[in-house]
Structure 1
Amino acid sequence: MRMRLGVQTLLFVLLFIPGTILQAADMTLWDVAGRAEISLDQAAGKLPSPGIVYVGEFHDNAAHHAAQLAVIQSLDKRKRPVAVGLEMFQHIEQSVLDAWVAGALSEDEMRRAFARNWSQDWHLYRDIFLYCRDRSIPMIGLNVPRSITRKVARNGFESLTPEEIGKLPPIVCRVDREYEEFLRRVLGHHGSESGFRRFCEAQLVWDTAMAIYALAYLEDHPEHTVVVLCGMIHAWKKAAPEQAARENAEVEQAVIQPSVKGRWTPGSVSKQDADYLILGLEE
């Protein structure tokens, strides 16, 4: 326990002091394919450039967000063109993110926009947003309106009106057995079969929309690496990355996930799940 807290304390000390950049060598990852511990700096040299890098999170875990910022910093330090894709912002509010990066929006205004799009937890994401603004790193809204995913989870994709479908990118919501089995494996199964099926449809809409919007940015900015910050469930290879691969198999992708004690550890995660695990953040 003391060792785990020590690693998190190191992240907080190095990342949450303004103007401080975590040295890549200070964060250790598990290379899933190579079955070895490596530094973030070593991993950064292997990440797609250009392409998409997913960095998963538990939304309420400050150490996970510190690690996400370290990944962004590590790529930025290598002078790679980087953009940050956000599950936390709806795509229809892209102009707000553009204004923030351009320095045309105050922090209070962004905090209110963040609450409108996601939650009151601005403080957990604040350092990421400040770093992107200070470094002029583009930020991309990847999400769909919450009302749509909630309605799909409650009533199914077929319940959406033409107006609601018009607020989505082109999506074919067909939950195949492999996707359903993936969600059962990572989440377990509770409730009725029909309820779980609707939940799968909502997740698929979420995953597919984020993938399409990330790919659309790459199409317009083909030299960039898009770092997608999203919940761990969306970041697994069978989730958003799989949907992106179906849209464009030529785009290189990589998945970085926090290791979670008793659930997702070096011994339980395969290269079909993720490429790297961030060690030392286990709950």
Structure 2
Amino acid sequence: MTIPFQRGSRYQKKKETSTGKFTSIDDLRGVFMKTWSLFLISILMSACAHAQSEGILRGSDHVPVTLQESVASVTPGSIVVIGENHGFVQHRDQQVQVMQALRAQGLKVSVGLEFFTYTQQNFVDSYRAGTLSEPEFLKAIQWGSPSYDYYRAQALFPNLAEGALTLALNAPRSVTSAAAKKGLEGLSADEKSLLPPNFALGRDSYKRRFLSMMPHLPTPEAGERYFAAQSIWDDTMAWRAADFIKSHPDQVLVIVVGEFHVQYGGGLPDRLRVRLPNTPIVTFSQINTLGMEEDEIAVEIQPSIQDGARADYLWLAPAQSLGL
């Protein structure tokens, strides 16, 4: 907020002290600043007082809700995006609970996974059809880490008998690696052919947050290249999801992706809304509160001044990697 209080301006009018009114605009400014400071302190104290380490909170006001309440508005043709910390059993279990809650509402649930590359959808289909064993499938897609034990349940959740599918979402690593090394202009014709139609970089606020996570880049140009690679991930996943939901409007697509891609709506949700302006999108941010004090949790879940809530729903829980 900018207030046009300037010395010598028409706003600086003397008031009679006997009336209890301000004697000058400086007095008014001082009271305003003191009131504003107390207001900010009260918000932080309130947040700390109500911070909790487990449960689902509404992102906008941090009111606790049940899982059923968080998905009650999801209808056929919607997309649910869950941002996780990779490789945690608790996050895996929460994701499956979201899928189960949607199914309990009578919805057909398909699942899209960041870890599967869209050019390998045929391997995913063969695996789900039973013509590829799990070891054969993991070898075919060159699965690395974390352990597939963290993602098997999600990949196998869709009921093929009702037409639900497991969807490979991500761009080929060869393309994102090339973009990170050479930039978009340096991509070969074959690499460019694998980009999503109408590809676009992520929005500016997302870019600023992304670059703030890498303070020791060798050059500004390196940051541009890395953000191009990040944007390829986001927009490719959005393109794949958009194509799917357009052709399967009777289903709900649940996407499991790294949490940074979801935070404050700037990564994948932003690209989804560009490609699907009329499609309902619900976002979850899974936050690991292990070892965090109440004041740390309060800071972690506070909305961004510029971008608003971290997600529609925040699922807090202490989570540990079990080294699977």
- The TM-score normalised by the length of structure 2 is 0.71
> 2-side partners of 1:77 and 1:113: how far apart?
34
- State the one-letter code of the partner of 1:252: P
Within the candidate set 60, 78, 93, 2:120 is matched to 93
The offset of 1:256, in angstroms, is 0.2
Q: Distance in 1 between matches of 2:74 and 2:62?
A: 17
Task: Trace 1:61-76 onto structure 2 (pairs within 5 A).
Answer: 61-76=88-103
Q: Which amino acid aligns with 1:150?
A: S
Secondary structure in structure 1 of the residue aligned to 2:300? coil
Aligned length: 256
**Could you say if the C-alpha distance between residues 174 and 65 of structure 1 is closer, same or farther in structure 2, counting changes exceeding 3 Å?**
same
Work out whether residues 81 and 254 of structure 2, in 8 Å CA contact, stay in contact via their aligned partners in 1: yes
Match of 1:238 among 266, 270, 287: 266
Identity of aligned residues (%): 25
1:199 offset after TM fit, Å? 1.1
| Aligned residue number for residue 275 of structure 2 | 247
The 2-side partners of 1:46 and 1:271 are apart by 20
Q: Distance between the aligned counterparts of 1:92 and 1:169, measured in 2?
A: 12
Deviation at 1:113, TM superposition (A): 3.6
Q: Does 1:156 align with 2:183?
A: yes
1 CA distance for matches of 2:215 and 2:242?
Answer: 31
Is 2:209 the counterpart of 1:182?
yes
* Aligned pair partner of 2:77 in 33, 50, 56: 50
Question: Conserved in 2, the CA contact under 8 Å of 1:132 and 1:139?
Answer: yes
- CA deviation digits over 1:175-194, x for unaligned, max 9? 55333123245x35331322
TM-score (norm 1): 0.81
Deviation (angstroms), 1:112: 2.5
Determine the C-alpha separation between the residues in 1 that align with 2:253 and 2:161.
Answer: 15
- Contact 1:53–1:227, Cα closer than 8 Å, also in 2: yes
* Deviation, structure 1 residue 257: 0.8
| Aligned-partner SS, 2:242 | helix
- C-alpha distance in structure 2 between counterparts of 1:268 and 1:190, whole Å: 26
Task: Supply the RMSD in Å over aligned alpha carbons.
Answer: 2.6
**1:130 aligned residue:** 156
CA distance in 2, matches of 1:198, 1:100: 35
Mean Cα displacement is larger for which, 195-204 or 259-268? 259-268
Secondary structure at the aligned position of 1:265 is classed as helix
Where structure 1 has 5 or more consecutive residues not aligned to the other structure, the ranges are: 1-7, 9-26
Does residue 229 (structure 1) correspond to residue 264 (structure 2)? The answer is no
Of structures 1 and 2, the larger Rg is shown by: 2
Distance 2:62 2:73 in 1: 15
Structure 2: runs of 5+ lacking an equivalent = 1-52, 290-295
What displacement does 1:82 show? 1.3
Instruction: Identify which range, 169-178 or 192-201, moves more after superposition.
Output: 169-178
Look up the match of 1:145: 172
- Distance across 1 between alignment mates of 2:266 and 2:108: 26
Distance 1:182 1:121 in 2: 29
Shift of 1:98: 1.9
Kept in 2: contact 1:190–1:196 (CA 8 A) = no
Q: Deviation of residue 166 (structure 1)?
A: 1.0
Amino acid at match of 1:265: E
| Structure-1 residue corresponding to 2:230 | 203
Q: Does 1:112 align with 2:133?
A: no
Distance 2:149 2:140 in 1: 13
Displacement of 1:265:
3.4
Aligned amino acid, residue 147 of structure 2 = D
1:278 partnered with 2:305: no
Tell me the CA shift for residue 145 of structure 1. 0.8
